[in-house]
Structure 1
Amino acid sequence: MTSPASATPFDGRDPSVTRPAEPPRATAARRGLAALSTARLRPVVLPVVTAALMIAAWEAVVRLREIPEVLLPAPSAVAARLWETLPFLLGQAVPTTLETIAGFAISTLLGIALAVMVTASRLAREAFYPNIVFFQLIPKIALAPLFIVWLGIGSSSRITFSVFISFFPVVVATLTGLTSVDRDLLRLCRAVGARGVRVYTQVRFPAAVPHIFSGLKIAITFAMIGVIVGEFITAQAGLGYMILFAASQAEMALIFASIVLLCVIGLGLYALVVLAERIALRRYGG
């Protein structure tokens, strides 16, 4: 006689019916899909969770130690200030964003053109590349007043300073990509009579696409830095000007609110560069 403790609970299924085992292939496919979903979500979930934990720690430290808002506002105070001033800050963000895009576009064209010129001519490489490196070694902040003296206090000085900061990564990355093409492929181009522009458009540039966009990702951040530095010095509008004005008024929450908006704009511009990279890589089979 079976004891109550050893009795198997009734689950509603007929014990006389033998159910087929799940095929190993289906189990492996399910595990593969789960692993793929985890791999896709991890690059998004981990940064978000890390940022949330850091913000929570920041909030806790400010509240527990009762740090004055004039020294370090809590994230909740920054969020409230951002919500209150969002329409005004968005208006201030327009010139900053437009000047950043203009500086980035000019630095992209200038950097790629210089890289092509240096690649195409050994004389140009020997004449220009050392000087480009030399100018890159000069402290950029020290030259900011010179751009203001030469170009005035308008947007042209800020855009020029932004270009001066951001074009060098584009030059180096593009030059690396254009010169890293397989030599056998270039010999094949010469053998079939391909020269000049055709070699660049069909061989060198497709091979250089990953390198070019590596430089562009750096350049978009440098372009915004250049504009913000220029706004610190000359502008009467923009998020850089708002940060400087809020600092003069000891409005720490407004400073952090402006920085948060700057980060959002920077992430958006960086995402556009990444999207363009994916389109280019898909086009050229990268």
Structure 2
Amino acid sequence: MDRGRGAAAAAGWSALGLAVAVGAWALVVSAFAIPEIVLPSPGGVVAAFLRLPGYLLEQALITLGETVLGFVLSVGCGLVIGMGIAAFRVAELMFSPLLVAFNAVPKVALAPLLVVWMGFGQQPKVVMALLVCFFPVVLSVWGGLASTPPELVELARSLDTPRWRTFVKIRFPAALPQMFVGLKVAMPLASVGAVIGEFSAGDAGLGFVIVQAGGSSDTALAFAAIGLLGVLSIALFYALVLAERLLLPWVRETAAVR
């Protein structure tokens, strides 16, 4: 019951924050008489969405599919690489500098190359989503497995527990909270990567809508697409939060701040 009231209060505060932000936006546009082509009013954005609701929702579903697929692939690759680096010191020495260097490369610079390699279509956008959110996943898996409480590892070693069983029963479960931190960082980045791909190689998706609307000076439509992108990112993030609460109930129970 207390949790239900807490969730309702959190939702209420979030709605209030949104109302304040939208109100401030409308006030700035009105007070400074900002032209619609520069910054549309909230009402103009809503009108732009209502003008083409079916089209915008269709493009949102395309971006959603690319985001989710890129995120899932990044999780699979990140788990394999992160576990390999955490398990083998040689792998850490060999590949950790390369991972840091790769993360430092602006991914937008790779977008034209992905078009050359893969052509136009879904593939370069999914790969861009994977590349953008890949590093946080690897880092969280690597860090989580490396920070296993040493007393638990020593206990397993004293009982002659096989290495694979220590990993399955102790190291991996202990690393899950930190892994979810990385996943929650990576999820919004996946949508950013998908949109970057749509900017460069897209013929569909919300990124494509933003480019086309900007080119035709339909700023309100571009803002409507940006708003939909924000809604998608929020929904995906809180879906991951819900999955964490269902899979790791002990984390919430033992957290210092609830």
Same fold (TM over 0.5): yes
| 2:111 maps to 1:180 | no
* Letter of the structure 2 residue corresponding to residue 54 of structure 1: A
Q: How does 1:161-200 map to 2 (within 5 A)?
A: 161-200=128-167
The percent identity for this pair of structures is: 36
**Native 8 Å contact 1:157 1:230 kept in 2:** yes
Give distance in 1, aligned partners of 2:34 and 2:217.
15
Residues 37, 271 of structure 1: alpha-carbon distance in 2 compared, 3 angstrom cutoff:
closer
| 2:238 maps to 1:276 | no
* Letter of the structure 1 residue corresponding to residue 217 of structure 2: A
Cα deviation code 1:41-86 (max 9, x no counterpart): 5533333222211211221222233322111111011112212211
| 2:217 maps to 1:217 | no
Deviates more, 1:101-110 or 1:132-141: 132-141
Q: Helix, strand or coil: the match of 1:181?
A: coil
Aligned CA-pair RMSD = 1.9
Q: Which has the higher contact order (CA 8 A, sep 6+)?
A: 2
Partner of residue 35, structure 2: 68
* Letter of the structure 1 residue corresponding to residue 124 of structure 2: S
Deviates more, 1:176-185 or 1:60-69: 60-69
- How far is the alpha carbon of 1:114 from its aligned partner? 0.8
Gaps of 5+ in 2: none
| 2:117 maps to 1:150 | yes
Give distance in 2, aligned partners of 1:74 and 1:52.
14
Partner of residue 235, structure 1: 202
Give distance in 1, aligned partners of 2:194 and 2:173.
31
Cα deviation code 1:224-282 (max 9, x no counterpart): 11110010011111110000000011001101111111111111111111111111212
Residues 274, 39 of structure 1: alpha-carbon distance in 2 compared, 3 angstrom cutoff:
closer
* Letter of the structure 1 residue corresponding to residue 23 of structure 2: A
Equivalences, count: 252
Gaps of 5+ in 1: 1-32
**Native 8 Å contact 1:209 1:280 kept in 2:** no
* Letter of the structure 2 residue corresponding to residue 127 of structure 1: M
| 2:97 maps to 1:130 | yes
* Letter of the structure 2 residue corresponding to residue 182 of structure 1: P
Give distance in 1, aligned partners of 2:167 and 2:53.
47
* Letter of the structure 1 residue corresponding to residue 65 of structure 2: L
Deviates more, 1:36-45 or 1:252-261: 36-45
**Native 8 Å contact 1:104 1:166 kept in 2:** yes
Q: How does 1:257-276 map to 2 (within 5 A)?
A: 257-276=224-243
Give distance in 1, aligned partners of 2:57 and 2:46.
15
* Letter of the structure 2 residue corresponding to residue 174 of structure 1: V
Give distance in 1, aligned partners of 2:107 and 2:202.
18
| 2:70 maps to 1:112 | no
Normalising by structure 2, we get a TM-score of 0.91
**Native 8 Å contact 1:235 1:241 kept in 2:** yes
Partner of residue 49, structure 1: 16
Give distance in 2, aligned partners of 1:96 and 1:40.
29
**Native 8 Å contact 2:121 2:203 kept in 1:** no
Residues 99, 181 of structure 1: alpha-carbon distance in 2 compared, 3 angstrom cutoff:
same
Give distance in 2, aligned partners of 1:114 and 1:181.
18
Q: How does 1:203-214 map to 2 (within 5 A)?
A: 203-214=170-181
Larger radius of gyration: 1
- How far is the alpha carbon of 1:153 from its aligned partner? 1.6
Q: Helix, strand or coil: the match of 1:72?
A: coil
Give distance in 1, aligned partners of 2:219 and 2:168.
51
Partner of residue 58, structure 2: 91
Give distance in 1, aligned partners of 2:136 and 2:200.
25
**Native 8 Å contact 1:213 1:277 kept in 2:** yes
Q: Helix, strand or coil: the match of 2:248?
A: helix
Cα deviation code 1:182-227 (max 9, x no counterpart): 1111011112222232112110111111100100011111111111
* Letter of the structure 2 residue corresponding to residue 264 of structure 1: V
